[in-house]
Chain A
Amino acid sequence: MSFSFKYKPIKLNSGRLVFKPMVPITFNGVEKIDVLAILDSGSDMAIIPKELAEILGLNYSEEEELSGITGPPIKVGECKLEITFGKNRESYNLEIPVLVPQSDENVPIIIGRIGFSEHFKITFSELEEK
Protein backbone atom coordinates (compact mmCIF):
# COMPACT_ATOMS: atom_id res chain seq x y z
CA MET A 1 0.00 0.00 0.00
CA SER A 2 1.14 3.54 -0.67
CA PHE A 3 -0.33 6.97 -0.48
CA SER A 4 0.69 10.45 -1.58
CA PHE A 5 0.02 14.07 -0.75
CA LYS A 6 0.26 17.03 -3.09
CA TYR A 7 2.78 19.74 -2.25
CA LYS A 8 1.37 23.02 -0.94
CA PRO A 9 2.67 26.50 -1.76
CA ILE A 10 4.43 28.58 0.87
CA LYS A 11 5.21 32.24 0.43
CA LEU A 12 8.81 33.03 1.35
CA ASN A 13 9.85 36.29 2.98
CA SER A 14 10.99 37.43 -0.44
CA GLY A 15 7.46 36.98 -1.78
CA ARG A 16 8.48 34.02 -3.91
CA LEU A 17 6.24 30.95 -3.85
CA VAL A 18 7.78 27.56 -3.27
CA PHE A 19 5.94 24.27 -3.20
CA LYS A 20 6.71 22.20 -0.13
CA PRO A 21 5.85 18.67 0.90
CA MET A 22 3.04 19.01 3.44
CA VAL A 23 0.98 16.34 5.12
CA PRO A 24 -2.14 16.14 7.28
CA ILE A 25 -1.40 14.65 10.70
CA THR A 26 -3.42 14.21 13.86
CA PHE A 27 -1.64 15.22 17.06
CA ASN A 28 -2.97 13.21 19.99
CA GLY A 29 -2.34 15.24 23.12
CA VAL A 30 -4.89 16.11 25.79
CA GLU A 31 -6.81 17.24 22.73
CA LYS A 32 -6.81 15.67 19.29
CA ILE A 33 -5.87 18.29 16.70
CA ASP A 34 -5.64 17.74 12.95
CA VAL A 35 -2.77 19.83 11.63
CA LEU A 36 -1.12 20.76 8.38
CA ALA A 37 2.61 20.02 8.73
CA ILE A 38 5.69 20.37 6.59
CA LEU A 39 7.43 17.04 5.98
CA ASP A 40 11.07 18.12 6.11
CA SER A 41 13.70 15.55 5.17
CA GLY A 42 16.38 18.09 6.09
CA SER A 43 15.18 18.38 9.67
CA ASP A 44 16.43 15.90 12.23
CA MET A 45 13.40 16.26 14.46
CA ALA A 46 9.85 17.53 14.53
CA ILE A 47 9.28 21.03 15.86
CA ILE A 48 6.00 22.69 16.74
CA PRO A 49 5.10 26.19 17.93
CA LYS A 50 4.99 26.69 21.69
CA GLU A 51 1.32 27.69 21.69
CA LEU A 52 0.38 24.42 19.99
CA ALA A 53 2.40 22.44 22.53
CA GLU A 54 0.53 24.21 25.33
CA ILE A 55 -2.88 23.30 23.89
CA LEU A 56 -1.75 19.70 23.46
CA GLY A 57 -0.66 19.69 27.12
CA LEU A 58 2.87 18.56 26.35
CA ASN A 59 5.45 18.50 29.10
CA TYR A 60 8.84 19.13 27.70
CA SER A 61 12.25 18.49 29.17
CA GLU A 62 15.48 20.37 29.67
CA GLU A 63 16.41 22.97 27.16
CA GLU A 64 18.79 22.35 24.33
CA GLU A 65 19.86 24.46 21.42
CA LEU A 66 18.46 24.21 17.93
CA SER A 67 20.10 25.77 14.91
CA GLY A 68 19.31 26.06 11.25
CA ILE A 69 21.54 27.13 8.43
CA THR A 70 20.92 30.79 9.23
CA GLY A 71 20.20 32.83 12.36
CA PRO A 72 21.24 32.28 15.95
CA PRO A 73 20.40 29.04 17.79
CA ILE A 74 17.12 29.01 19.70
CA LYS A 75 16.34 27.32 23.02
CA VAL A 76 14.02 24.34 22.74
CA GLY A 77 12.53 21.71 25.02
CA GLU A 78 11.95 18.10 23.98
CA CYS A 79 8.99 15.81 24.52
CA LYS A 80 7.16 12.85 23.02
CA LEU A 81 3.98 13.21 21.00
CA GLU A 82 1.61 10.54 19.71
CA ILE A 83 0.52 11.15 16.15
CA THR A 84 -1.81 9.49 13.66
CA PHE A 85 -0.78 9.57 10.02
CA GLY A 86 -2.16 7.95 6.91
CA LYS A 87 -4.70 8.09 4.15
CA ASN A 88 -7.86 6.24 3.23
CA ARG A 89 -7.96 2.97 5.20
CA GLU A 90 -4.27 2.96 6.00
CA SER A 91 -3.29 4.81 9.15
CA TYR A 92 -0.48 4.53 11.65
CA ASN A 93 -0.09 5.63 15.25
CA LEU A 94 3.44 6.68 16.08
CA GLU A 95 5.18 8.31 19.02
CA ILE A 96 7.70 10.86 17.83
CA PRO A 97 10.12 13.17 19.63
CA VAL A 98 9.17 16.81 19.25
CA LEU A 99 11.06 20.02 19.91
CA VAL A 100 9.26 23.05 21.31
CA PRO A 101 10.81 26.54 21.20
CA GLN A 102 10.93 28.11 24.66
CA SER A 103 10.00 31.50 23.29
CA ASP A 104 7.31 32.50 20.83
CA GLU A 105 9.44 31.85 17.79
CA ASN A 106 7.74 32.03 14.41
CA VAL A 107 8.20 28.38 13.54
CA PRO A 108 5.91 26.30 11.35
CA ILE A 109 4.78 22.78 12.23
CA ILE A 110 7.55 20.54 10.96
CA ILE A 111 7.78 16.76 10.90
CA GLY A 112 11.44 15.71 10.75
CA ARG A 113 13.06 12.36 10.21
CA ILE A 114 13.66 10.92 13.68
CA GLY A 115 10.74 8.81 14.85
CA PHE A 116 8.92 9.21 11.56
CA SER A 117 10.83 8.43 8.39
CA GLU A 118 12.09 5.05 9.63
CA HIS A 119 8.51 3.79 9.40
CA PHE A 120 7.98 4.68 5.75
CA LYS A 121 9.69 4.67 2.39
CA ILE A 122 9.30 8.34 1.49
CA THR A 123 9.72 9.67 -2.03
CA PHE A 124 9.68 13.36 -2.90
CA SER A 125 8.69 14.00 -6.50
CA GLU A 126 9.45 17.59 -7.44
CA LEU A 127 8.22 16.84 -10.94
CA GLU A 128 4.79 15.80 -9.75
CA GLU A 129 4.83 18.10 -6.70
CA LYS A 130 3.82 15.30 -4.35
Chain B
Amino acid sequence: MKNIINNFDSVSEEIMTNYAGEWIAVGDGKVILHSKSLKDVNSFTKTNYPKKRALIGKITEANLSVLSIC
Protein backbone atom coordinates (compact mmCIF):
# COMPACT_ATOMS: atom_id res chain seq x y z
CA MET B 1 0.00 0.00 0.00
CA LYS B 2 2.83 2.41 0.84
CA ASN B 3 4.42 1.99 -2.58
CA ILE B 4 1.27 2.78 -4.55
CA ILE B 5 0.70 5.92 -2.44
CA ASN B 6 4.27 7.11 -2.93
CA ASN B 7 3.91 6.63 -6.66
CA PHE B 8 0.59 8.47 -6.65
CA ASP B 9 2.07 11.40 -4.72
CA SER B 10 4.85 11.74 -7.26
CA VAL B 11 2.44 12.16 -10.18
CA SER B 12 3.03 15.84 -10.85
CA GLU B 13 1.42 18.41 -13.11
CA GLU B 14 4.45 18.05 -15.37
CA ILE B 15 3.77 14.32 -15.76
CA MET B 16 0.06 14.82 -16.32
CA THR B 17 0.57 17.40 -19.04
CA ASN B 18 3.67 16.12 -20.83
CA TYR B 19 2.37 12.67 -21.74
CA ALA B 20 -1.13 13.39 -23.00
CA GLY B 21 -2.47 10.54 -25.10
CA GLU B 22 -0.03 8.02 -23.65
CA TRP B 23 0.16 5.38 -20.97
CA ILE B 24 2.69 6.08 -18.24
CA ALA B 25 4.32 4.00 -15.55
CA VAL B 26 5.46 5.88 -12.44
CA GLY B 27 7.96 4.38 -10.03
CA ASP B 28 10.62 5.74 -7.69
CA GLY B 29 9.23 9.24 -8.09
CA LYS B 30 9.55 9.45 -11.86
CA VAL B 31 8.09 8.26 -15.15
CA ILE B 32 9.92 5.05 -15.90
CA LEU B 33 8.24 4.45 -19.26
CA HIS B 34 5.63 6.09 -21.46
CA SER B 35 4.08 4.63 -24.58
CA LYS B 36 0.95 4.56 -26.68
CA SER B 37 0.83 0.83 -25.90
CA LEU B 38 -0.31 -0.37 -22.50
CA LYS B 39 1.12 -3.81 -23.24
CA ASP B 40 4.60 -2.30 -23.66
CA VAL B 41 4.29 -0.31 -20.43
CA ASN B 42 2.92 -3.25 -18.45
CA SER B 43 5.48 -5.78 -19.66
CA PHE B 44 8.31 -3.33 -18.96
CA THR B 45 7.15 -2.72 -15.41
CA LYS B 46 6.62 -6.42 -14.74
CA THR B 47 10.19 -7.08 -15.83
CA ASN B 48 11.88 -4.12 -14.17
CA TYR B 49 9.67 -3.54 -11.13
CA PRO B 50 8.54 -7.06 -10.21
CA LYS B 51 8.38 -6.45 -6.47
CA LYS B 52 7.82 -2.72 -6.04
CA ARG B 53 5.23 -2.34 -8.79
CA ALA B 54 4.71 0.86 -10.73
CA LEU B 55 1.60 3.00 -10.92
CA ILE B 56 0.10 2.89 -14.40
CA GLY B 57 -2.09 5.63 -15.78
CA LYS B 58 -3.62 6.68 -19.05
CA ILE B 59 -3.07 10.38 -19.59
CA THR B 60 -5.99 11.56 -21.65
CA GLU B 61 -6.81 14.73 -23.43
CA ALA B 62 -10.49 14.76 -22.77
CA ASN B 63 -13.67 16.54 -22.04
CA LEU B 64 -15.39 13.36 -20.89
CA SER B 65 -16.84 13.95 -17.46
CA VAL B 66 -20.39 12.63 -17.28
CA LEU B 67 -21.39 9.08 -18.04
CA SER B 68 -24.63 7.17 -17.73
CA ILE B 69 -26.01 3.86 -18.90
CA CYS B 70 -28.67 4.26 -21.54
Contacts and interface: CB of A to CB of B under 8 A. Distances in A.
A34 B16 contact: no
Contacts, number: 119
A46 B4 CA distance: 20
A108 B62 contact: yes
Chain B interface residue count: which class? 35 or more
A13 B63 contact: yes
Chain A interface residue count: which class? 35 or more
Contacts of B38: 49, 51-52, 55
B67 A87 contact: no
B55 A34 contact: yes
A36 B11 contact: yes
A33 B55 CA distance: 8
A11 B63 contact: no
A45 B70 CA distance: 12
A33 B4 CA distance: 10
Interface string B17-35: 1001000001000000000
A24 B55 contact: yes
Contact of A44 (B37, B59, B67): B67
Interface in A42-86: 42-45, 47, 49, 51-52, 55, 64-70, 73, 86
Contact of B13 (A9, A55, A73): A9
A55 B69 contact: no
B63 A35 contact: no
Interface string B39-52: 10010001000000
B67 A43 contact: yes
A91 B68 CA distance: 28
A70 B63 contact: yes
Interface of A: 5-6, 8-14, 17, 22-24, 26, 31-36, 40, 42-45, 47, 49, 51-52, 55, 64-70, 73, 86-89, 91, 99, 106-110, 112
